[in-house]
Amino acid sequence: MDPVFRALADDTRRGLLDELFQRDGQTLTELEQRVPMTRFGVMKHLKVLEQAGLITSRRRGREKLHFLNPVPIRLIYDRWVSKYAEPWVTSLSGLKADLEAAPEPAAGVARASRDGFYPDRPVIRMLLISGSSRDGSTDAAVLRTAAALAPADVETVSDAGIGELPLFNPDDDREGAPVDERVAAMRTAMASADAVIVCTPEYAGALPAALKNLLEWTIGDAGTYAKPIAWINAAGPAAPSGAADAHDSLRKVLGYAGADIVESACLCAPVTREMVGADGLVHDDAARGQIAASVAALADHVRASATKPV
């Protein structure tokens, strides 16, 4: 069931299923008109849905028609909803639908309750990824500080399991086949994040291999496609190039993956080991200002996207 949950964890993919629920048998061109992204992006999302068995497709001449397949969702329902619980579930889901039909008070609040089950959930979930797994890492300290300085409506998640991932191998990421559970966990964390902040050192003139490896695993499920992502470059004054090459390669990889690089949130906050206190946080005021500005700019971008008409 993992591929089904992964496929359903994404807003765009749920939107595509809604479209097919409204009218089955739509072509890629028709679906593309209903989603604010490129044809390539829609194709990738449809592929994930197809791999999860949530849609099927049939060729008609040169066109490919897409059909909703509700069977995997029904299997989830059957597994957890017994015949005794069914009447209660029906009443509660009816109540939820009625409450959600009430006028929306504000865009932010509506988005906060978008999954319905956690109405108090902070509006924006940010996944924080450090390219360094070193004890005492300055990059990790920057991300801890980002979490501490985040606006009240931002929830941060710090563990993408970067150090635990197996080395990427396309043979282990085949269509329809389950992936390693550590990869699945990382993909879930990525899919449920509204935005991502990366803070990485440069190793030998490029991205650390562990970070590149994580990003390679996100290609198969389009995990970073259209995902708002920013980086905070914490390279201190001793770094010869200011870690420019690492960040150039990060930009290149994220560009390949189709990520939404949020330029206004990509900032430099030079941090040396002396600037990190015993509490593991950055204490330098200038660096803290830059870190807070990056988180705020990324959150602004997510809020603005959430209120854009689709």
Ligand X SMILES: Cc1cc2nc3c(=O)[nH]c(=O)nc-3n(C[C@H](O)[C@H](O)[C@H](O)COP(=O)(O)O)c2cc1C
Interface residue list for ligand X (CB under 6 A): 132, 134, 137-139, 201-205, 235, 239-241, 243
CB of 228 or CB of 270, closer to ligand X: 270
Taken in order 200, 201, 205, 208, the sign of the CA dihedral is negative
CB of 138 or CB of 290, closer to ligand X: 138
Decide: 228 and 195 in contact? Cβ < 8 Å.
yes
How near is the Cβ of 38 to ligand X at its closest, in Å?
34
d(CA 93, CA 55): 24
How near is the Cβ of 124 to ligand X at its closest, in Å?
25
Q: What DSSP string describes 9-36?
A: T-HHHHHHHHHHHHSSSEEHHHHHHTSS
How near is the Cβ of 238 to ligand X at its closest, in Å?
8
3-state secondary structure of 227: coil
Decide: 32 and 39 in contact? Cβ < 8 Å.
yes
CB of 205 or CB of 255, closer to ligand X: 205
Among 30, 85, 93, smallest CA distance to 60 is for 30
CB of 65 or CB of 239, closer to ligand X: 239
CB of 119 or CB of 205, closer to ligand X: 205
How near is the Cβ of 139 to ligand X at its closest, in Å?
3
CB of 27 or CB of 133, closer to ligand X: 133
Among 81, 131, 80, 83, smallest CA distance to 245 is for 131
Q: What DSSP string describes 99-127?
A: HHHSPPS-HHHHHHTTTSS-TTS-SEEEE
CA distances from residue 226 to 34, 106, 126, 255, 259 in whole angstroms, order as listed: 16, 24, 14, 10, 5
How near is the Cβ of 261 to ligand X at its closest, in Å?
21
How near is the Cβ of 121 to ligand X at its closest, in Å?
30
CB of 112 or CB of 275, closer to ligand X: 275
d(CA 69, CA 24): 10
How near is the Cβ of 243 to ligand X at its closest, in Å?
5
